[in-house]
Amino acid sequence: MTQTPLTILLAAPRGFCAGVDRAIQIVEVALERFGAPVYVRHEIVHNRFVVQSLEAKGAIFVDELDQVPDGVPVVFSAHGVPKSVPAAAEQRGLFYLDATCPLVSKVHREAERHFNEGRQIVLIGHAGHPEVIGTMGQLPPGAVVLVETVEDVATVQVDDPENLAYATQTTLSVDETASIVAALQARFPSIGGPKKEDICYATTNRQQAVKAIAPKVDALLVLGAPNSSNSKRLVEVAKIHGCQRAQLVQRAADIDWSALDGVATLGITAGASAPEVLVEEVMEAARARYAVTVEELRTAFEDITFKLPKPLLDGGAPSRPVPADA
- Among all residues, which ones are annotated catalytic? 131
114 is in an annotated binding site: no
Report d(CA 9, CA 200) in Å as an integer.
24
Report d(CA 65, CA 44) in Å as an integer.
14
129 is in an annotated binding site: yes
170 is in an annotated binding site: yes
Element holding 290 (H helix, E strand): strand 290-298
State whether residue 12 is helix, strand or coil: strand
DSSP state of 46: S
Instruction: Give the number of residues written for the chain.
Output: 326
241 is in an annotated binding site: no
163 is in an annotated binding site: no
* Neighbouring C-beta atoms of residue 25, cutoff 10 Å: 14
- Looking at the DSSP bridge assignments, the partners of residue 244 are none
- Cβ(23)–Cβ(130) under 8 Å? no
273 is in an annotated binding site: yes
243 is in an annotated binding site: no
17 is in an annotated binding site: yes
46 is in an annotated binding site: yes
Binding site listing for [4Fe-4S] cluster: 17, 101, 200
Binding site listing for dimethylallyl diphosphate: 46, 79, 129, 228-230, 273
Binding site listing for isopentenyl diphosphate: 46, 79, 129, 228-230, 273
Binding site listing: 17, 46, 79, 101, 129, 170, 200, 228-230, 273
